[in-house]
Structure 1
Amino acid sequence: MTGVQHQKWWGWGVEGITFTHEDKPKLAPFVMEKVGIDLNAPGTPPPAFEDLKVPASLLDGDLASVLRAAVGDAYVGTDDMDRVVHTYGKGLVDLVRVRASDLPRVPDAIVYPADEDQVRQVVDAVVAADGVLIPFGGGSNISGSLTPPVDEKRVVVSLDLGRLNRVLEVDEAAGLARVQAGVLGPDLEDQLNSRGWTTGHQPDSFRHSTLGGWVATRSSGMQSDKYGDISDITRGMRVVLPGKVIALRPLPSTSSGPSVREMILGSEGRLGVITEVWVNVHRLPKNREIVAYLFPTWAAGLAAMHAITESDASPTVTRVSDANETAFSLSMQKPSKGLAAKAGPILFNVLERRGWDLNAACLSYIGYEGDDDHLKYEKSIVGKIVRKHGGIKLGKGPGALYDQKKFDTPYIRDFLLDIGALGDVSETAAPWSKLMDLYANTVRAATDAFAELGVMGFVMCHLSHSYHSGACLYFTFAFPPSSDVAAEQIEQYWVVKRAIQQSFVDNDATISHHHGVGTDHAHWLEDDISSAGTEVMAGLLRAVDPGRNLNPGTLLPAHREW
């Protein structure tokens, strides 16, 4: 036993936790109306692991001996379960393929180093053998960054960093912590919180993703409005390359040429294996609140979020859902009792009398942290902005419920797969001046794709991660494919996914705000950073890794690989 815990081989999270609609009476009618699926019909659970056809490992005896000498016999795995767990991330295509026993190329060995020295030995050994090395954190990636190329004939080693999971030191005067890259989000925060500190970084994948993974994919968290994205939080790092280590000190700022730190951020394992990261940390706040608001329209909600960024308020979270996502959220509610059961209908009746179209209403969550006076000051500023844009305050109750459930959403995708539906996400960012057109055109592109396929589909969106010049728009889409054949389902999925991603490009938005490039988004890379920019990236990767030993196939579109 390695002591490293992994997610389910067939889905999100851990065994024993699943999504159910049975305690949400409004959800089944909602899903039937929007995508025509009966949630009460028998579903199709994932297959038994014993039914999968797992290719044999190609690990040869010489390399196996070197790896075992480096990390110990117990920490080189070749059993089928371990290899399948490390084959895919948790993207929609990943889950469809693994459920269908579509395993054309599986890592040949999983190696669990205990420290940087062992990482160096493993990297050197794999490259010396002309093998392929794929770093692995929590396995939560949804953009195709973890899967070996199908046609890869060389031995493939997955380097699992799960044993590198400690906070090594805290520089209290500087507000910095030195942390091993394999630490999962909850373990990182537990160790920091016990000393009175926090990073404030909370991506949706928080429970099942690692610090190194956040850095390697340029992650963002729901509290990034205050704490920054991981690119802001990361100040220094150590990165293992064949025969050497990049060591970047945790400097507050520097003018020493093009930033190597920036090059490694988002590099997805192609520029080496991240072993340690220096991160900004902050004292735990006295208070933390998420307050819910309701806006009459999506346009009003976006305008309010923009106004908040221009104000003196600095909330931790600024999120607003469009009408479709608001309707979905309301359908997910459990039955209320007593006064709470009456309050909702009364409020909606009042709003209707005021002229609100409740089908256009948009739910918002805004987060605050600090001492009592600071919260009072910030909520006063935000409250005035909300009222100016026609919104109302719903209070801390709905906000607290959102805060409790925010990490559980990915379980819904497994539930959808069980009942025969495909659900996935695409996120982007654009300037404030372009958000409304980006939103309208992307919703139209997804709707047209559903029509092209002849299926009932549903698309919804929320704004999150507000910045000075713009914001992130996060789209979720779902539809029942017209086939139960995995390859045909994936083909239909890509009709919708391509339409959404192309809309991002056509509307001057980025191809990904925080999920990374991987293989799923590489097709649009040149549109995102220009042909010349892609040449610069290809040149960098070629110079660092001329043998294409470090996670080849990610980041660059296929025709740019050398």
Structure 2
Amino acid sequence: MTGVKHMKWWGWGVDGVAFHYEDKPRFAPFVLEKVGLDITTPGRQPLQFDELTVPASQLTEDLRGQLREIVGEDQVVTEDLERVVHAKGKSVRDLVRIRAGKLGRVPDVVVYPGSHEEVQSLVKFAVDNDLVLIPFGGGSNIAGSLEAPLNEQRTIISVDLGRLDQVLSLDDDAGLATIQAGAQGPDLEEQLNRRGWTLGHFPDSFTHSTLGGWVATRSSGMQSDKYGDIADITRGLRMATPEGTLELRPLPSTSTGPSVREMVLGSEGRLGIITEVTVQVHRVPEVREIQAYFFPSFAAGIRAMHDIARSEAQVTVSRVSDDRETAFSFATQKQSKGMSKYVTAGLMKFLEARGWDIDQLAMSFIGFEGSKSHVTRQKAMVKALIAPHGGFGVGQGPGALYDQKKFDTPYIRDFLLDRGAAADVSETAAPWSKLKPLYDGVIAAAEKAMAEVEREGYIMCHLSHSYHSGACLYFTFAIADDSPDVLQRYDVLKRAVQEAFIAGGGTLSHHHAVGVEHSPWMEADISPVGVQMISSLFNGVDPKQNLNPGKVVHTGQPGISVLSDEQ
């Protein structure tokens, strides 16, 4: 009908693609030891779609007719599957509830506008008729930014930007591209690559997320060390608002009062619907490499990343995993065969002979791009920088494997959910001086929470997205619990992690946005006055809360979403 691609309604990615452990001999024993979960038993499948009780659409025929006049008859959809797909994102809370048939407040209609003008007409139509609009990109959000308030009585329209997926213009001299907001990562890159350019923005959700979604949530990509976060990449934009079209020209810098661009970044649809973004782009590099390194400990790896960040080295990726995540990565590898099996064993013996505790080993990936001579120089600089910290290069092979599989990790979460474990991620950022103490505090808080709920679990971390003053710490955690009240125990763990971020001097979210999952901690992060400023901005632009209500700021308690009665 519309030709727009969507993920499956009950999990990540597309049907027919899934995580398999059978060719990874160390994975099942690892999960059994760390989480107490026997993954060799058959998984519990989600409900079939026809087993769901989908609330009937509240769209009246009069409103349907007016929507058809705006976007066209074929672009107004009320089928149950479409409405369920657009009801939630892909947070662990979303997936646990939707797999159990707890759908919450489902949009009454999904519309697919084909131009900025149609989106602007939809915004005006919603405000004039006191309806609710929720913008939808790829549906990958994990912060609760997509679902409607449970008690929302007004007609809810999900505005899917999937038809707005084109690179509209490219300024070769300025290195600027204007791109429609509904363009998903792979399609966007393919269009740019054909002309010799790249955006360089590769978040974990890259294969199923959109440019507009990246801007609306202040996304970061795996190569942000070189290309910057989406806030750095975004130079101009076009947005449909209740007051008309906001046009921000792609100027290199301005001194024209508070930045409206910054107000839009991270606004999650509360101020309007982004339809076009002008971004800075770069020529596709001649050489691109991801090299792997080992460090004797996570602390040593952090110090090495700090030295790289404040040096003249220009890397695209600077990532180092703690010993927990390194062990997990080894457990997900396929069986080594032939010479590689003996090389791996020999390497471990070599490191042990150097006095390394293999159980504390930290694996790192560092990326290089540019001309051949530039990459050669950068690798030499990094080698010299990491040597004082015990860093040891292990070649391009592991890095190439990481590069190939970097977007597949979310499929593991679905696999674990099928077998009774709830897994999630939370990330923060803090100054270099606070990173290791913050890390220690989060690990301790998480383990205390798991003991409190009397469930086995696991938490691991990696450092990524380095800056001059600090870096991002990205935590992944899971608890074994297949009971109906798993989310109650998950909330205890999630709350412990988030509060440890704030206590350790970090932010509540580095790049996964606020939504409703993180909004209870906003006052602790930006102060009560900061929250009041944001509230005043939202209320001034959207006084009747027609635009994605309840996101970013709300009055809920920590760890408890005001949007749901299923905890």
Task: State the TM bucket, normalised to the shorter chain.
Answer: over 0.9
Aligned to 1:513: 510
CA offsets, 1:213-253, max 9 Å, x none?
00000000000000000000000000101240000000000
Quote the Cα distance in structure 1 between the aligned partners of 2:96 and 2:173.
Answer: 49
Paired residue type of 1:286: E
Quote the Cα distance in structure 2 between the aligned partners of 1:490 and 1:37.
Answer: 18
Aligned to 2:31: 31
Aligned to 1:158: 158
- Write out aligned runs for 1:195-210 (5 A): 195-210=195-210
Aligned to 2:54: 54
Aligned to 2:416: 416
Q: Is the 8 A contact 1:294 1:392 kept in 2?
A: yes
Range with greater deviation from structure 2 (162-171 or 243-252): 243-252
Aligned to 2:487: 490
Q: In the alignment, which of 539, 550, 557 is matched to residue 553 of structure 1?
A: 550
Paired residue type of 1:501: Q
Paired residue type of 2:539: R
Aligned to 1:228: 228
Q: For structure 1, which runs of at least 5 residues remain unmatched after alignment?
A: none
CA offsets, 1:108-136, max 9 Å, x none?
00000000111111111122110110000
Q: CA RMSD in A?
A: 1.0
Aligned to 1:329: 329
User: Residue 530 of structure 1 aligns to a residue in which SS?
Assistant: helix
Quote the Cα distance in structure 2 between the aligned partners of 1:110 and 1:514.
Answer: 27
Paired residue type of 1:181: A
Quote the Cα distance in structure 1 between the aligned partners of 2:511 and 2:201.
Answer: 13
Aligned to 2:77: 77
Paired residue type of 1:218: R
CA offsets, 1:73-101, max 9 Å, x none?
11011010000000000000000010011
User: Residue 240 of structure 1 aligns to a residue in which SS?
Assistant: strand
Quote the Cα distance in structure 1 between the aligned partners of 2:249 and 2:395.
Answer: 44
Quote the Cα distance in structure 1 between the aligned partners of 2:380 and 2:135.
Answer: 46
Aligned to 1:311: 311
Determine if the alignment matches structure 1 residue 537 to structure 2 residue 534: yes
Quote the Cα distance in structure 1 between the aligned partners of 2:82 and 2:530.
Answer: 38
Q: How far is 1:365 from its partner?
A: 0.0
Quote the Cα distance in structure 2 between the aligned partners of 1:445 and 1:153.
Answer: 39
TM-score w.r.t. structure 1 length? 0.98
Aligned to 1:171: 171
User: Residue 558 of structure 1 aligns to a residue in which SS?
Assistant: coil
Q: Is the 8 A contact 1:134 1:156 kept in 2?
A: yes
Quote the Cα distance in structure 2 between the aligned partners of 1:327 and 1:18.
Answer: 22
CA offsets, 1:354-391, max 9 Å, x none?
11000000000000000111011100110011211111
- Write out aligned runs for 1:420-459 (5 A): 420-459=420-459
- Write out aligned runs for 1:283-294 (5 A): 283-294=283-294
Q: Is the 8 A contact 1:290 1:403 kept in 2?
A: yes
User: Residue 523 of structure 1 aligns to a residue in which SS?
Assistant: helix
User: Residue 512 of structure 2 aligns to a residue in which SS?
Assistant: coil
CA offsets, 1:525-553, max 9 Å, x none?
11111000111000000000001000000
Aligned to 1:263: 263
User: Residue 9 of structure 2 aligns to a residue in which SS?
Assistant: coil
Aligned to 1:295: 295
Quote the Cα distance in structure 1 between the aligned partners of 2:549 and 2:281.
Answer: 33
CA offsets, 1:434-490, max 9 Å, x none?
001100000000000000011111000000000000000000001112x521xx111
Q: Is the 8 A contact 1:525 1:557 kept in 2?
A: no
Q: How far is 1:345 from its partner?
A: 0.6
Quote the Cα distance in structure 2 between the aligned partners of 1:238 and 1:142.
Answer: 25
- Write out aligned runs for 1:396-415 (5 A): 396-415=396-415
CA offsets, 1:46-76, max 9 Å, x none?
1100001110001112211110111111101
Aligned to 1:525: 522
Paired residue type of 1:541: F
Q: Is the 8 A contact 2:204 2:407 kept in 1?
A: yes
Paired residue type of 1:71: V
Aligned to 2:389: 389
Paired residue type of 1:305: M
Aligned to 1:118: 118
Quote the Cα distance in structure 2 between the aligned partners of 1:104 and 1:117.
Answer: 31
Q: How far is 1:335 from its partner?
A: 1.1
Aligned to 1:503: 500
Quote the Cα distance in structure 2 between the aligned partners of 1:439 and 1:351.
Answer: 25
Paired residue type of 2:508: I
Quote the Cα distance in structure 1 between the aligned partners of 2:492 and 2:60.
Answer: 41
Quote the Cα distance in structure 1 between the aligned partners of 2:276 and 2:310.
Answer: 36
Aligned to 1:460: 460
User: Residue 113 of structure 1 aligns to a residue in which SS?
Assistant: coil
Q: Is the 8 A contact 2:285 2:371 kept in 1?
A: yes
CA offsets, 1:368-419, max 9 Å, x none?
0001110111001100112111110010000000000000000011000101
Q: How far is 1:559 from its partner?
A: 6.3
Q: Is the 8 A contact 2:78 2:109 kept in 1?
A: yes
Quote the Cα distance in structure 2 between the aligned partners of 1:30 and 1:310.
Answer: 37
Q: Is the 8 A contact 1:138 1:213 kept in 2?
A: yes
Quote the Cα distance in structure 1 between the aligned partners of 2:135 and 2:438.
Answer: 35
Quote the Cα distance in structure 1 between the aligned partners of 2:477 and 2:331.
Answer: 16
Paired residue type of 2:258: P
Point out 4+ residue stretches in structure 1 off by more than 4 angstroms.
none
Quote the Cα distance in structure 1 between the aligned partners of 2:316 and 2:151.
Answer: 45
Aligned to 2:565: none
Quote the Cα distance in structure 2 between the aligned partners of 1:544 and 1:243.
Answer: 8
Determine if the alignment matches structure 1 residue 239 to structure 2 residue 236: no
Aligned to 1:99: 99
Quote the Cα distance in structure 2 between the aligned partners of 1:61 and 1:477.
Answer: 46
Paired residue type of 1:469: S
User: Residue 13 of structure 1 aligns to a residue in which SS?
Assistant: coil
Quote the Cα distance in structure 1 between the aligned partners of 2:387 and 2:136.
Answer: 47
Quote the Cα distance in structure 1 between the aligned partners of 2:473 and 2:354.
Answer: 29
- What is the number of residues matched between the two proteins? 558
Quote the Cα distance in structure 2 between the aligned partners of 1:4 and 1:127.
Answer: 26
Quote the Cα distance in structure 2 between the aligned partners of 1:115 and 1:311.
Answer: 45
Q: How far is 1:557 from its partner?
A: 2.1
TM-score w.r.t. structure 2 length? 0.98
Q: Is the 8 A contact 2:242 2:541 kept in 1?
A: no
